[in-house]
């Protein structure tokens, strides 16, 4: 185990396998962890780019846990289907009367002070709302933390691989990058790091064993694991986990065989 991987998982007290959210069997992920070790120590904003289900939120948590902000809050703001009222409540300034004084309040920024704010599925926001959110964040940080900007929330932004090309064409995206000057990390899809699949399967099996006494001896057959290695996993880690959970149910807690796997992996099933 290399030193950087050990550093990145010391907060969990475990070997750097899937317990840190990714597995480290593939060269791609070893390279990612080397970058994350450095990025975690910096006070730079981060953009995580990858397909849906690759584990961008988990990587954001790893960055937070290995930063000097690890004792601070990690807060997620979900950007999918967010309406303007929800956005305003979270990011706009509010006038609050307290102790005979008017105070300016920014609810979400105050909750995340000294920590990390993860903007989940940021690329799903309307174009104008993206830039509006960033401007509100910057304005609020200047007002709330003007005497100590080092405790302003660090932003980690989730962008889907599918939306990236469209974002690059937007003037708002260029302005956003100019305002935040973030570091970008490309998170590879599961099909490009299949060496990690057996480790993911084992940790998902272990989660089932620990949560359900009736499935405490759950295993997956070698044939089923081989099928998992062959499959392209368009839904990435999230889809793999769901496949293991379905197999745990259909196998009645014994051994997950190929015919217990989802229809999308085994078209011969009699559905």
Structural domain of residue 219, as residue ranges? 191-260
- For residue 271, is it within any domain? no
Question: What is the three-state SS of 93-104?
Answer: CEEEEECCEEEE
Number of domains into which the chain is organized: 2
Last residue of a domain, one of 188, 221, 244: 188
Q: What is the tens place of the pLDDT at every residue in 196-235?
A: 899 899 989 999 999 999 899 999 999 999 999 999 999 9
Q: Looking at residue 214, which CATH number applies to its domain?
A: 1.10.8.60
Q: Looking at residue 159, which CATH number applies to its domain?
A: 3.40.50.300
Q: What is the tens place of the pLDDT at every residue in 155-202?
A: 999 999 889 989 999 888 999 999 999 999 999 999 999 998 998 999
Q: Tokens 């910096």 correspond to what residue?
A: 42
- Residue 45 CA to residue 28 CA, distance in Å, equals 22
Last residue of a domain, one of 188, 208, 241: 188
- Residue 82 CA to residue 185 CA, distance in Å, equals 25
């Amino acid at each position: 185990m290399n030193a950087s991987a050990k550093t990145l998982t010391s907060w969990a007290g475990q070997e750097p396998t899937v317990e840190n959210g990714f597995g480290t069997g593939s060269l791609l992920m070893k390279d990612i962890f080397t970058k994350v070790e450095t990025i975690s120590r910096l006070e730079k904003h981060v953009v995580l780019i990858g397909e849906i289900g690759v584990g961008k939120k988990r990587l954001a948590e790893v960055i937070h846990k290995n930063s000097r902000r690890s004792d601070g809050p990690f807060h997620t703001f979900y950007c999918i289907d967010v309406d303007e009222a929800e956005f305003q409540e979270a990011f706009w300034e509010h006038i609050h009367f307290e102790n005979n004084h008017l105070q300016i309040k920014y609810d979400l920024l105050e909750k995340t002070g000294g920590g990390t704010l993860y903007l989940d599925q940021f690329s799903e926001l309307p174009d104008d709302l993206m830039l509006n959110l960033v401007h509100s964040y910057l304005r609020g940080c200047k007002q709330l933390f003007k005497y100590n900007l080092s405790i302003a929330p660090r932003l980690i932004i989730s962008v889907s691989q599918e939306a990236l090309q469209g974002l690059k064409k937007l003037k708002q995206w260029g302005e956003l990058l100019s305002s935040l000057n973030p570091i970008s990390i490309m998170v590879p899809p599961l099909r490009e790091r299949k060496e990690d699949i057996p480790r993911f399967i084992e940790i998902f099996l272990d989660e089932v064993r620990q949560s359900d006494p009736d499935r405490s001896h759950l295993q997956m057959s070698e044939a089923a694991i081989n099928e998992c290695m062959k499959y392209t996993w368009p839904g990435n880690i999230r889809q793999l986990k769901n496949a293991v959970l379905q197999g745990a149910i259909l196998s009645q807690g014994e051994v997950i065989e190929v015919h217990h796997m989802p229809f999308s992996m085994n078209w011969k099933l009699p559905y």
